[in-house]
Structure 1
Amino acid sequence: MGIIGSEIKPFKATAFKAGEDFYEVTDADVKGKWAILFFYPADFTFVCPTELEDLGEKYAMLQDMGVEVYAVSTDTHFSHKAWHDTSERIGKLKFPFLGDQLHTISKNFDVLREEMGLADRATFVVDPDGVIQIVEQTCEGVGRNANELTRKIKAAQYVRNNPGQVCPAAWEEGEETLAPSLDLVGKI
């Protein structure tokens, strides 16, 4: 079975979040709401801070949509704090960073590059039942786009809340959706 439609596996990690003490996050904490697990290769790198800053600019809107963001790398929570304290871009971010130095989460989501001990650049959107609904993975040098991720989450939430409806390509909130049926076969 592919990863889409599968339930997230158990994990436990120490998180760093600006203005808070270190704290534990588990798979149980992710369930019950929409969540993004945003894997990136490493702290103190180059493409990663641009992606994380882009996602941070959408964080308040994502929270309003009932979505929590978890940034995940194989660095420790101490490294996350040091990066937050020294990088202007990372210092602005309000979402939690999970330390995955034992590689449990990266292995659970099949994004660990074993030979390097680093996670791939990958995004997983998990629904309130803990089921993976969206996956995006890019090569090392290609950053992700938070606008497109937000659009996909809105579509996934719409489909969840409107059984029998699907969102066509490039669908934006408020646009027409489709109700798959025999009547539509060959007419789209």
Structure 2
Amino acid sequence: MSLINKEVNDFKVQAYVGNDFKEVTKKDILGKWSVFFFYPADFTFVCPTELEDLANKYEEFKKIGCEIYSVSCDTHFVHKAWHDASATIKKIQYPMLADPTGALARDFDVMIEADGLAERGSFIVNPEGKIVAYEVIAGNVGRNADELLRRVQASQFVAEHGDQVCPAKWQPGASTLKPSLDLVGII
């Protein structure tokens, strides 16, 4: 079943952000664009490369009004320990959500029940709290923050310009398509 247009359920989790612990709820995500970036676990191998890639692009996400939330089934205490122990993770400025019960991972349908871990899933959530784009991939393949940023920008563009669609490799400022009767079978 597709998760497109699924509204994120109410949630309340602890996060590690800005060298502090903070509570994050569904209310915090409403009214702005969000990316939920699930990864299997702290203190692993592929995950820090992805999280660093996102950290390096975080200012660009913020400039377009999009908050990043990395999420694993670790506790906020483990997030802090990883932050304190890793030069790579110290670069992270976005909230690292703790999901030790797997409630968020289950809501986004990325929970690996047998392992108590989340799949690698990237979800773009609109200001109404609905999933508008997502990707779930194997645990041994890292994701690309540039492509995720491009997808957020395209999602924002089509939300603002509902009569247009973004073609493959679309970038802000590039031409879009306006569906017409001639294109009906193509979309």
Q: What range is the shorter-chain TM-score in?
A: over 0.9
2:167 matched residue in structure 1? 168
* 2:118 paired with 1:119: yes
Shift of 1:27: 1.3
Give runs of ≥4 in structure 1 deviating > 2 Å.
Answer: 183-188
1:61 matched residue in structure 2? 60
| Cα deviation 1:58-110 (Å, max 9, x = unaligned) | 10010010000001000000000000011010011100111100111011111
* 2:178 paired with 1:179: yes
Q: Judging changes above 3 Å, is the alpha-carbon distance between structure 1 residues 185 and 76 closer, same or farther for their aligned structure 2 residues?
A: closer
Shift of 1:30: 1.2
* 2:15 paired with 1:18: no
Whole-Å separation in 2 of the counterparts to 1:138 and 1:13: 24
Q: What secondary structure, in the 3-state scheme, does the structure 2 residue paired with 1:182 have?
A: coil
Q: CA RMSD in A?
A: 1.4
Whole-Å separation in 1 of the counterparts to 2:72 and 2:92: 15
Q: What one-letter code is carried by the residue in structure 2 that aligns with 1:136?
A: E
Count of matched residue positions in the alignment of Structure 1 and Structure 2: 187
Whole-Å separation in 2 of the counterparts to 1:187 and 1:14: 45
Shift of 1:184: 3.2
Whole-Å separation in 2 of the counterparts to 1:72 and 1:16: 10
Whole-Å separation in 2 of the counterparts to 1:184 and 1:87: 51
Q: What one-letter code is carried by the residue in structure 2 that aligns with 1:70?
A: Y
1:8 matched residue in structure 2? 8
Whole-Å separation in 1 of the counterparts to 2:41 and 2:185: 47
Matches within 5 A, 1:1-188: 2-19=2-19, 21-185=20-184
Whole-Å separation in 2 of the counterparts to 1:121 and 1:62: 19
Name structure 1 gaps, 5 residues minimum: none
% identical equivalent positions: 52
Q: What secondary structure, in the 3-state scheme, does the structure 2 residue paired with 1:53 have?
A: helix
Q: Judging changes above 3 Å, is the alpha-carbon distance between structure 1 residues 118 and 152 closer, same or farther for their aligned structure 2 residues?
A: same
Whole-Å separation in 1 of the counterparts to 2:63 and 2:184: 37
